[in-house]
Amino acid sequence: MEDTSTLRVTVNGESRELPAGSTVLDLVLALGCNPQQVAVERNEQIVRKPDHATTALADGDRFEVVTFFGGG
């Protein structure tokens, strides 16, 4: 019997499990990132920041998450 309470996704080449029903925002927060300082690509498509909270994850999704740091 398959466990449907979690999703398996790949983030920056590493497998991760998240609760079913998670969104891109949930993923960003689980990674410990500031949502205002990241760019997220899902299955080779950019996810716009305004859509992070409403874009649901699907089992098998592949993500690239890039964090921006200020400095100088």
> Residues 6 or more apart from 17 whose CB is under 8 A from it?
6, 7, 8, 9
pLDDT at 1 > cutoff 70: no
> Residues 6 or more apart from 3 whose CB is under 8 A from it?
none
Per-residue model confidence as pLDDT tens digits over 25-70: 999 999 999 999 999 999 999 999 999 999 999 999 999 999 987 6
Per-residue model confidence as pLDDT tens digits over 6-30: 999 999 999 999 999 999 999 999 9
How much is the pLDDT for 68? 86
